[in-house]
Amino acid sequence: MAHIKRIRRELALKAHIFEYYRDTVQTPAGKIREWDFICHPGAAAIVPVREDGRIVLVRQYRNALDRLTLEIPAGGLEEGGKEPTRTAALRELREETGYVGDEASLLLSIRTMVAMGNEKIDIYLARDVQPGRQQLDEDEYIEVLDFSLEELLEMIYGGQIQDAKTVAGILAYAGRYAAEK
């Protein structure tokens, strides 16, 4: 396959969470085109599993969709994107749900929007998480819920859970969980 050459990248907008660029590229046929690029510092998420096997999720409002969503705990990386993703995943677990865990193993890494951005989310698994106290930011309103794996799979295949990181994390856990039985 022929290569596309980037000629120029110009910052169009520096937002709170990401930077938006206009890229000028040359196609293999020699055409000059402008493409959008969203630069994201990265994120981490976690599939928290209690001792009884139930999985902890959060329900929160998402402005982009103008509705509540059901998701695994997740958040952006601190320290300008340099925070270790495992540290961020365990932090988000504690802050969003109040649950704590000492161990977290990497399930998988996903790229959420390859057509226009570079966001990478490392998704971890934490087993035997224990309840604690939520530590929400003043503008966070999060409800903590728990479900069986079977319930979550039904919600994914029934279209009630559509968040990509949550779908990927639950399906990856289901694959690992099924292999351990």
Which is catalytic among the residues 34, 92, 95, 138? 138
Backbone phi and psi for residue 136, each to the nearest 5 degrees, phi listed first: -75, 150
Token pair 């559509």 is at which residue? 162
Q: DSSP secondary structure string, 69-134?
A: EEE--EEE-SGGGTS-HHHHHHHHHHHHH--B-S--EEEEEEES-TTTB--EEEEEEEEEEB----
DSSP at 79 = G
Q: Does the annotation count 103 as an active-site position?
A: no
Kindly list the catalytic residues: 138
